[in-house]
């Protein structure tokens, strides 16, 4: 059974103007889902929407919203309600990271990261999950990271935010699976998107190698309904799970040496 038959007709994808969100849009449209695409960059959203409409003949609506701003997120929800758009699959994908010594990073940006990566998924999930439970069908996807599984110096705030997504998703999975709703946390390793550039983390050499967005998203959609969380790539999986057997004070030190900025930019 395809995702449309399983969950319903409309998927909402945050952060759909590029990267993994754009790939989610393609793969969900390929299964016949109509889409609501959300991000800040209207031109990029329009380009993604035009390509998808041409290729898959589904309905695509674009909504510009700044998910770091709760009012903007709430307006998105009320606009969808007014338009009678019932969301069957919610993909809480929008997010960004920042790389460096936490005490030197931009303070406002760090709070904004919490707003986009944590607060907006809470607001959106609170809005759409009750209706999914009432209908006994629906799905919610959260974006974690291999960093969800370990404290990650120089990505400290980001990895903690991603740990929140993993914990929240897995707990919800257990709560609502018996009520007919599927939840999964997708935790990719390094994936070829704009993420590293935005985070200011150029030149990293990931132990788990680089993943392609299409493989990462495909893995998530295959595992949706079967597992509470998934880590694409054997090496990423191995690294994430090996941390379970590492003493707590050793784990952050291993990451410290792996992630320590190669070029010191400090004064």
Ligand X SMILES: NC(=O)c1ccc[n+]([C@@H]2O[C@H](COP(=O)([O-])OP(=O)(O)OC[C@H]3O[C@@H](n4cnc5c(N)ncnc54)[C@H](OP(=O)(O)O)[C@@H]3O)[C@@H](O)[C@H]2O)c1
Query: What are the catalytic residues?
Result: 158, 162
Which span (14-22, 48-56, 175-183, 222-230) binds ligand X, by CB under 6 A?
Answer: 14-22
Judged by CB under 6 A, which of 66, 90, 124, 231 binds ligand X?
66
DSSP conformational letter for 97: -
* 219 contributes a contact to ligand X by CB under 6 A: no
Among positions 17, 34, 159, 236, the unique one binding ligand X when judged by CB under 6 A:
17
Cα–Cα dist 225/6, whole Å: 10
8 A C-beta contact, residue 148 and residue 161: no
Task: Please give the C-alpha separations between residue 194 and each of 18, 155, 191, 201, 213, in angstroms, as whole numbers.
Answer: 8, 16, 9, 11, 11
**Distance from C-alpha of 223 to C-alpha of 98, rounded to nearest angstrom:** 29
Question: Quick check: 13 binds ligand X (CB under 6 A)?
Answer: no
Of these, 198, 225, 237, 252, which contacts ligand X (CB under 6 A)?
A: 198
Binder among 150, 159, 191, 236 for ligand X (CB under 6 A)? 191
Examine residue 67 and tell whether it contacts ligand X (CB under 6 A): yes
- Integer Rg of the chain from CA: 18
> Judged by CB under 6 A, does residue 208 bind ligand X?
no
Between CA 220 and CA 226 the distance in angstroms is 10
Residues that bind ligand X (CB under 6 A): 14-21, 39-41, 44, 65-68, 93-97, 116, 143, 145, 188, 190-191, 193-195, 198
């Amino acid at each position: 059974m395809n995702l449309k038959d399983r969950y319903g007709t409309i998927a909402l994808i945050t952060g759909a103007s590029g990267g993994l969100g754009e790939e989610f849009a393609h793969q969900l449209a390929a299964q016949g889902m109509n889409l609501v695409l959300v991000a800040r960059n209207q031109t990029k959203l329009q380009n993604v929407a035009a390509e998808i409409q041409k290729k898959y003949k589904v309905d695509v609506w674009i909504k510009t919203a700044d998910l770091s701003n709760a009012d903007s997120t709430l307006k998105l929800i009320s606009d969808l309600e007014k338009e009678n758009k019932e969301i069957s699959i919610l993909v809480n994908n929008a997010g960004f990271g920042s790389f460096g010594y936490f005490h030197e990073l931009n303070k406002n940006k760090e709070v904004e990261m919490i707003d986009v990566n944590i607060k907006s998924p809470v607001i959106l999930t609170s809005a759409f999950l009750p209706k999914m439970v009432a209908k006994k069908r629906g799905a919610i996807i959260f974006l974690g990271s291999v960093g969800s599984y370990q404290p990650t110096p120089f990505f400290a705030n980001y990895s903690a935010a991603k740990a929140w997504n993993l914990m929240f998703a897995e707990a919800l999975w257990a709560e609502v699976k018996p009520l007919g709703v599927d939840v999964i946390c997708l935790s990719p390793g390094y994936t070829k998107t704009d993420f590293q550039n935005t985070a200011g983390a150029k030149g990293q050499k990931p132990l788990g190698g680089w993943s392609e967005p299409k493989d990462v998203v495909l893995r998530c959609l295959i595992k949706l309904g079967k597992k509470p969380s998934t880590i694409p790539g054997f090496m990423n999986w191995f690294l994430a799970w090996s941390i379970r057997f590492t003493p707590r004070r050793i784990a952050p030190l291993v990451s410290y040496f792996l992630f320590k900025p190669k070029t010191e930019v400090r004064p």
